[in-house]
A = this chain, B = another copy of it.
């Protein structure tokens, strides 16, 4: 898992039901210093807000299991909002 931040939203025309039922959020993926090193478009299952620090899990099988489905076109999911992140004893996110 990586730490990221919700920075945008995506609206798309699908013909895949699963993707129409969930909100798609564009998230920066952060490096260890909290700087963006890339992005991914995630399905959100924790109702993360714009700008919030989040935990991103980027593995298809995990994603399907979180949604309680056996099959489905999905890979990256926001699994949690970060309440506290401490590196070398120093708080980075509160």
Residues of chain A whose beta carbon lies under 8 Å from any beta carbon of chain B: 1-3, 7-16, 19, 24, 26, 28, 31-32, 36, 38-42, 45-46, 50, 55, 57-63, 65-66, 71-77, 79-89, 92
The answer, among B13, B24, B32, for a CB contact under 8 Å with A36, is: B32
Chain B residues, CB < 8 A from A87: 7-8, 26
Identical chains in the assembly: 5
Cβ contact within 8 Å between B83 and A13: yes
Chain A, interface SS category: strand
Complex A-B: 19 CB contacts under 8 Å:
A1-B42, A3-B41, A12-B81, A12-B82, A13-B80, A14-B46, A14-B80, A15-B46, A16-B66, A19-B80, A26-B32, A31-B38, A59-B60, A59-B75, A60-B61, A61-B61, A62-B74, A62-B75, A65-B73
